[in-house]
Amino acid sequence: MKRENRKEKFVKNPIFPGGKKGMQETVKKNLRYPKTAFANKTEGTVHLRYSIDRSGKTFDIKVVSGIGDGCDEEAKRIVSLFKFRMPRNRAGKLTFHKTLQVHFRLPKGKEKPVVPQTTAVTYSYTTNKQEDKNSGSYSYEISL
């Protein structure tokens, strides 16, 4: 005798508000490209593994493969902002493990040139040898 297919699963997975598109929008809205990665023109994908507790909060966020230059820390920060809706499970208090890929791509055509901000001050004092020893002129030059 065949068993009936049940539409309902025994263990229900956590649900992110808005589904996959909602998660993509959250990442896109909160992603801040790290300054060192922008200066070094670092691009790539950070692979993360994280856990979701019974209240829907993320914890134990680990970088499986990263690209460095601050991108790994930024991806971890974004995942720590996630809040899942936890359906009621018959199995009790569960912890779920998920993976995520966060893509870091430099914006095309909107790149701002990185201009080093230096300030230089030039000071000079000149004396008039023909006139009095106490007379002289000062000049200042400030360049930004």
pLDDT given for residue 6 in this prediction: 59
Who has greater pLDDT, 117 or 36? 36
Asked if 70 and 35 touch (Cβ cutoff 8 Å), the reply is yes
pLDDT given for residue 60 in this prediction: 92
**Cα–Cα distance measured from residue 57 to residue 86, given in angstroms and rounded to the nearest whole number:** 10
CATH 3.30.2420.10 correct for 19-104: yes
Mean predicted confidence (pLDDT) in 77-89: 89
Q: Where are the domains of the chain?
A: 19-104
pLDDT tens by residue, 19-45: 999 999 999 999 998 889 888 888 999
Angle made by CA atoms 80, 42, 66, in degrees to the nearest 5: 45
Model pTM score: 0.65
- For residue 21, CA distances in Å to 18, 26, 31 come to 6, 9, 15
With a cut of 60, say whether residue 83 has pLDDT above it.
Answer: yes
